Structure 1
């Protein structure tokens, strides 16, 4: 079975799952050749015992359109995560979690998967685009930010802080990097 690169982006109201809620998440599933084989997106109701982090909520005030996008068509987290697992299992290959930054996005997605479904089709691992860039650029981690990446790695796709837009954009970035790395 081929690997399916599941570029995932999340939006939250704070820094850690449980104390804070994942507001929205989306995934764009790509083959290595940058064929988009499917997408998944969900906006979630907040966790009953969680609250928004004041600094994060202040940041959201500067992003009213993106905030509004996270608060429409809300689903119960358990329902959304069950649907997500079913979607992941329907993909034509083995899912690999990909994100920028994977440490943050995977933390929330994994916590929600285990809490609400008891399983993670990704197992325990995630592929971090910035770390991949560090290896390709042969530079320090802090110097492997998007502004220091070659322009040809980027497609003309928006970064809007709407989870699906950002998952698609970052998935294309990863696939461009993967193609260059595999063709060297």
Structure 2
């Protein structure tokens, strides 16, 4: 530890296509954890599709394979502007420094960033520019962190994580379940880096 305490905010999103604006984010969840790996809060909402947006046929083929998850993320959809405003207000209640953690960050944070910019004039990640964000710094890409911790080579495919790192993960495509799963994976890997392989 470097003396700084962080609040780790694990994000998971679900969408109906790859491109923000042309497609929509239908659901997301963020689970916040302290340095002792305790969940200290969470935020989860379903969002109404963007007006005029379409749906990717390839993405919809995937959703047809998980009808329970599809039904879940389409239950009680809310106005995206209200959801993003509520999300920023919720994040502000968490202890600083808040760090956004995604699996992978290039996709999930990209979508969150687009929605934050459009609806509340904020950004998902801070950089060298004068922007407002609920989070500090450039965030954590969970798969990159886990690859390094487990000494796995880079691959463009989904990595096959060592079994001890996946204990307790329930990946359902319901965002709160998956956000908590990303947290479990990260903290397992962090214990490996500290020599605590239990």
TM-score scaled to structure 1, two decimals? 0.92
Q: What runs of 5+ residues in structure 1 fail to find an aligned partner? A: none
Residue of structure 2 equivalent to 1:21: 24
Counterpart contact for 2:99–2:137, Cα < 8 Å:
no
Q: What runs of 5+ residues in structure 2 fail to find an aligned partner? A: 123-132
Residue of structure 2 equivalent to 1:11: 14
The question of 1:83 aligning with 2:96 is answered no
Deviations 1:130-177 (A, max 9, x none): 111222233322188442x22222232310000010001111111221
Deviations 1:36-59 (A, max 9, x none): 011110100000021111100111
Map 1:25-174; keep pairs closer than 5 Å.
Answer: 25-119=28-122, 120-122=133-135, 125-142=138-155, 145-147=158-160, 149-174=161-186
> For 2:50, what is the secondary structure of its paired residue?
coil
> For 1:10, what is the secondary structure of its paired residue?
strand
Work out which structure has the larger RCO, using CA pairs closer than 8 Å and 6 or more positions apart in sequence.
1
From the superposition, tell whether residues 127 and 144 of structure 1 become closer, same or farther in structure 2 (CA, over 3 Å).
farther
Work out the number of aligned pairs and report it. 183
Q: C-alpha distance in 2, partners of 1:168/1:83?
A: 20
Could you say what the CA RMSD is over the residues aligned between the two structures, in angstroms?
Answer: 1.8
